[in-house]
Amino acid sequence: MHPEYEVLDWRRRSYFGDFAYLPGPLKFMIEIKGYGPHVQEMDRQKYCNELNRELFIQTLGFRIISFAYDDVSDRPELCQYLLQSLLNRYRVQQQPVQRTVMAESEIIRYALSSSRQSISPKEISLHFQIDYRTSVKMLRALCSKGWLLPIHSGSGQRIHRYELAKNSVDYFT
144 contact partners, CB below 8 Å, separation of at least 6: none
CATH of domain 99-172: 1.10.10.10
Quick one: CA torsion of 142, 121, 102, 85, rounded to 10 degrees? -80
Q: In the chain, which residues fall in CATH 1.10.10.10?
A: 99-172
In CATH, which of 3.40.960, 1.10.405, 3.40.50, 2.30.30 is domain 2-88?
3.40.960
- Residues written for the chain: 173
Per-residue pLDDT, 165: 86
Per-residue pLDDT, 13: 85
Full-prediction pTM beyond 0.75?
no
List of the chain residues with pLDDT < 50: 173
Instruction: Render the burial of 74-83: b for 16+ CB within 10 Å, e for the rest.
Output: eeeeebeeee
Per-residue pLDDT, 15: 85
Per-residue pLDDT, 97: 66
Per-residue pLDDT, 95: 62
Per-residue pLDDT, 87: 86
Q: In the chain, which residues fall in CATH 3.40.960?
A: 2-88
